[in-house]
Amino acid sequence: MLTADQYLDSLRQLNFKLYLFGEQVDNVVDHPIIRPSLNAVAKTYELAEEAQYKDLMTAESSLTGKRINRFTHLHQSSEDLILKVKMQRLLGQKTAACFQRCVGFDAFNAVDSVTYEIDKELGTEYYKRFRTFLKRVQEEDLVVDGAMTDPKGDRSLRPFQQSDPDMYLHVTKRLKDGIVVRGAKAHQTGALSSHEILVMPTVAMGDEDAAYSVCFALPSDTNGIIYVYGRQSCDTRKFEEGSIDMGNCRYGGHECLVIFEDVFVPWERVFMCGEHQYTSALVERFAGYHRQSYGGCKVGVGDVLIGAAALAADYNGAAKASHIKDKIIEMLHLNETLFACGIACSSQGGPTASGTFLIDLLLANVCKQNVTRFPYEIARLAEDIAGGLMVTMPSEKDLRHPEIGAYLEKYLKGVNSVPTEDRLRILRLIENMTLGAAAVGYRTESMHGAGSPQAQRIMIQRQGNLDQKKKLARIIAGIEKE
């Protein structure tokens, strides 16, 4: 396994074609806007080296028998699924940000089981190719971006009906030695933190959508792949001197629009090409795994936000007020409910035909449906407890100013025993997590990540077995016999 420093050095060897603020960026690793997100991924390597986290952060590979980073593992039991959620909570606690390896992790497990079923039924070699790819990922401890979301264009039209066929990534040519693809993947979390991109279809496809039914992996700096960095609220604070106004002074996350401009993919890296009838299973399983993930990562970040809100109450001298205590209890209740959902869908998981374990899809969608709501309430309560200074306080430069700094030290103080700077740092952290750059990975991603709320509701309806529930009622009411 790699160390954190080795991981960062490995990214320096990649040649991304990246645009940020209208300029091409050559040095991804040391750019002040990007570096906090790389630090968050590096934490997944750092913790894997610590003996106290060995059981959470590492696993024994089912492919090689070697000890590997859990983020490259195929789930072999319900216990593996539970450990995944606990690991994600730990990393959320340590970074208070998106640590970006979950999407690729979830993609591995979905692609593994689906390619096994394609090969078994159609006699293809996708499963063999995929496991060869994953074995290398495990042995080299790589970060992989799981790329599913397409721009989609007109949502009322199927992929093949779009006026611009590139609104969904698709195959443009089939060659003797591979395929050529064109299109884009949007909102790609951790794209620049990744060594590889694992591309999947974004929706269930029909007969006419065969060209869009494609799954493959490529090195992230492959010729023809272009990255455009996504803006985040308050992101230019990372250019400023000092660390108070950043809120989270070390970690962060990022998203990119990833453009594929006639990119060649060799056949040995293609894991689906035209088998549209299997796209539904791939999308459902990946979404299920990723919706499970939110019962861990968002809970860990929530732990930090709850702690920050409690500290703000302490520093304001309001911690003993009954309404403050009640609000913190509510935050704890909501956060632990999310964790309970993540553990529940994991404990009820079972093996697929390939042997890789799948979560309970119904409970995973219930988990994510709650995630679309509870973090918003937790954030609202944190803002309530913090008070208005969270969004009106002057800058760190004013605090450090030789003339007016003393006034800020005096008038922005809370309880006498706490330094003014400590109070301001906690308020900036809450601002960062609820309104600033980190809010992308906590609030807004809680809504749209792993699919919109309606996507989960559709799956809950599909998986809820309403006919069976009606039958139970008819039996109890005496309408039919048991």
Mean pLDDT over the full length of the chain: 97
The pLDDT tens digits of the residues spanning 323-365 come to 999 999 999 999 999 999 999 999 999 999 999 999 999 999 9
pLDDT at position 441, please?
83
Q: Is the dihedral of CA 10, 45, 332, 84 positive or negative?
A: positive
- β-strand partners of 218: 197
Backbone phi, psi, residue 297, to 5°: -65, -45
413-429 pLDDT tens trace: 999 999 999 999 999 99
Q: What is the pLDDT of residue 355?
A: 98
Has 256 been annotated as catalytic? no
How sure is the predictor about 440, in pLDDT bands with cuts at 50, 70 and 90? confident
Point out the catalytic residue in the list 98, 215, 256, 273. Answer: 98
465 or 445, which is more confident: 465
290: pLDDT strictly greater than 90 = yes
180 strand-pairing partners: 173, 264
Catalytic residue list contains 294 = yes
Is 297 one of the catalytic residues?
Answer: yes
Assess contact for 430 and 308: CB atoms under 8 A. Answer: yes
Is 445 in the active site? Answer: yes
Residue of 196, 255, 275, 431 with catalytic role: 255
Domain extents for the chain?
Answer: 4-277, 281-471
Reply yes or no on whether 290 is catalytic.
Answer: yes
pLDDT in tens, 51-107: 999 999 999 999 999 999 999 999 999 999 999 999 999 999 999 999 999 999 999
Q: Which CATH number fits domain 4-277: 2.40.110.10, 1.20.1740.10, 3.30.1240.10, 1.10.150.110?
A: 2.40.110.10
Determine whether 273 is an active site residue.
Answer: no
Tens-digit pLDDT profile for residues 206-254:
999 999 999 999 999 999 999 999 999 999 999 999 999 999 999 999 9
Q: Options 1.20.1090.10, 1.10.3720.10, 1.20.1260.10, 1.20.140.10; which CATH number does 281-471 get?
A: 1.20.140.10
- Can you state the angle between helices 279-316 and 102-122, rounded to 10 degrees? 170
Pick the catalytic residue: 73, 75, 95, 102? 102
Residue with tokens 């005496």: 478
Between the alpha carbon of residue 372 and those of residues 68, 80, 399, 450, the distances in Å are: 32, 25, 37, 10
* pTM confidence score: 0.97
